[in-house]
C-alpha cells in the first residue's frame, strides 16, 4: 500500500475534525479493525487507515457531505443524498481521496460502504463494517457474544450485525436502505465461510 499521508498525520487530521467522543469511537474502531485484520490475514495498515477515516465526515454538515460527494463523482441515490447518517460513508471516501490523497481504492471503498454495506463486500469492507459495530466502546445486549463470533466466523458476524441494525431501524420505525437489505442477503448467500 502506497500512501502520501502517514497514519500519524491522518490521526491528527481526524482528531481535529471530530468531537472527543467521536474520536474515541474512531480509536475503538481502529483497535478492533487491526485485531480482525490480523485474524483474517488482511493488511493491518489498510485496516488501520480505513478505520481511522471511516467517520471523518460524520460531524460535517449535510451540505459539506453533498458537495464533496459531487466533487468526488461518487454515485449516491436521493435517499443517501438527503441523510447525513447514510451519506457520511460516501462523503468520507471522497474526502480521503480528494483531501488526504488516499490512493488505495480498497481503503476508500471500505470507508464508502461501512454504514450500509454492499453486495460485493471485500474482507476489508466487512472488517470495517463490523469493527464500527462492535468496537470496545459499544455496549448493547449481545455485543460480547458478537465480538467473540467476529473472530470465529466473519460472515456470520457481519450478518448478525446487519440483523441488529435492521431490528433497531424497525424498532424506531425508520426506513431501511435497499443497500442494507441487499448487502445482508449477499453475505448470507456467500458460500465461503470466513
Whether 9 has a pLDDT exceeding 80, the answer reads yes
Whether 193 has a pLDDT exceeding 90, the answer reads no
Using one digit for the tens of pLDDT, what is the confidence trace for 105-156?
999 999 999 999 999 999 999 999 999 999 999 999 899 999 999 999 999 9
CA distance 92 to 69: 9
CA distance 71 to 154: 34
- Mean pLDDT taken over the chain: 94
- Kindly state the average pLDDT of the residues 155-178: 95
DSSP the chain: ---SS-HHHHHHHHHHHS-HHHHHHHHHHHHHHHHHHHHTT--HHHHHHHHHHTTTTTTS-HHHHHHHHHHTT----HHHHT-HHHHHHHHHHHHHHHTS----HHHHHHHHTTTT--TT--HHHHHHHHHHHH-TT---TTHHHHHHHHTT-HHHHHHHHHHHHHHHHHHHT----HHHHHHHHHHHH-SS--
- Kindly state the average pLDDT of the residues 68-84: 96
Quickly state the pLDDT bin for 87 (edges 50, 70, 90): very high
Whether 26 has a pLDDT exceeding 60, the answer reads yes
For 52, the grid coordinates are 481511522
Quickly state the pLDDT bin for 4 (edges 50, 70, 90): confident
* pLDDT at residue 190 in the model: 84
Whether 1 has a pLDDT exceeding 70, the answer reads no
- Kindly state the average pLDDT of the residues 40-65: 98
Whether 2 has a pLDDT exceeding 80, the answer reads no
* pLDDT at residue 97 in the model: 96
Amino acid at each position: 500500500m502506497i500512501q502520501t499521508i502517514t497514519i500519524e498525520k491522518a490521526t491528527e487530521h481526524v482528531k481535529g475534525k471530530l468531537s472527543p467522543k467521536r474520536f474515541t469511537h474512531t480509536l475503538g474502531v481502529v483497535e478492533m479493525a487491526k485485531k480482525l485484520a490480523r485474524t483474517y490475514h488482511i493488511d493491518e495498515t489498510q485496516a488501520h487507515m480505513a478505520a481511522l477515516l471511516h467517520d471523518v465526515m460524520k460531524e460535517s454538515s449535510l451540505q459539506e457531505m453533498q458537495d464533496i460527494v459531487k466533487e468526488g463523482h461518487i454515485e449516491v441515490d436521493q435517499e443517501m443524498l438527503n441523510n447525513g447518517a447514510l451519506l457520511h460513508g460516501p462523503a468520507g471516501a471522497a474526502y480521503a481521496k480528494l483531501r488526504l490523497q488516499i490512493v488505495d481504492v480498497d481503503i476508500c471503498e471500505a470507508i464508502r460502504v461501512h454504514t450500509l454495506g454492499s453486495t460485493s463486500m471485500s474482507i476489508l469492507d466487512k472488517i470495517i463494517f463490523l469493527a464500527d459495530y462492535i468496537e470496545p466502546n459499544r455496549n448493547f445486549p449481545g455485543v460480547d457474544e458478537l465480538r467473540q463470533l467476529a473472530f470465529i466466523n466473519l460472515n456470520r458476524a457481519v450478518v448478525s450485525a446487519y440483523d441488529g441494525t435492521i431490528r433497531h431501524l424497525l424498532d424506531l420505525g425508520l426506513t431501511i436502505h435497499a443497500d442494507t437489505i441487499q448487502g445482508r442477503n449477499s453475505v448470507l448467500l456467500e458460500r465461503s465461510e470466513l
